[in-house]
Amino acid sequence: MTSSKRNVAAIVAVLFVIGAVAALWALSPKATVPDVPYTLLDGSTQRTTDLRGKVVLVNFWATSCVTCVKEMPELIATHRKFNARGFETLAVAMSYDPPAYVVNFAQSRGLPFKVAIDNTGEIARRFGDVQLTPTTLLVNRRGEVVKRFVGEPDFAELHATIDRLLDES
């Protein structure tokens, strides 16, 4: 086998393992959101457990991610559509994203939701070792992950699921 074929085979194997791990985590029955502290752009510190009682969209993103930038207007619209009903959005910028870029992006686009910078990568690790952006998790009021999207979500499906979760008591 040539060196280039071995490299391709190794890459395929690694992608398969990553996909399998992500699928297993995503399919685990009602994985609970980990208790993780995070710092918002305004400097305040909160914990993921502070979001219990709300339906929450946790979006891992980066300013250098083309799909992340493309989906951001839809995330803004989703937040605005459901926020008054107890829906919250937490955008978590990846550890490799320069904080100044994140602040500029959030300000220039008027992001209406919470934005945290994952300086150490701890938030991404605790949420199932998120490495691909965008990765979006939908969490019910009990703090259980009910849906995980890798890549841009189907927003019609997402909205229907959010609506259903908000109607649950």
CATH of the domain at 45: 3.40.30.10
pLDDT in tens, 102-150: 999 999 999 999 999 999 999 999 999 999 999 999 999 999 999 999 9
Whether residue 22 sits in one domain with residue 35: no
The Cα 166–Cα 132 span in angstroms is 28
- Cβ(57)–Cβ(81) under 8 Å? no
Host domain of residue 22: 1-29
How many distinct structural domains can be found in the chain?
2
Whether residue 65 sits in one domain with residue 6: no
Whether residue 58 sits in one domain with residue 21: no
Whether residue 22 sits in one domain with residue 101: no
Q: Where does the pLDDT of residue 31 fall: very low under 50, low under 70, confident under 90, or very high at 90 and above?
A: confident
Q: Tell me, what's the pLDDT at 3? A: 60
Shortest CA distance to 99 belongs to which of 42, 48, 41? 41
Whether residue 5 sits in one domain with residue 45: no
pLDDT in tens, 59-111: 999 999 999 999 999 999 999 999 999 999 999 999 999 999 999 999 999 99
Strand 55-61 relative to strand 87-93: parallel, antiparallel, unpaired?
parallel
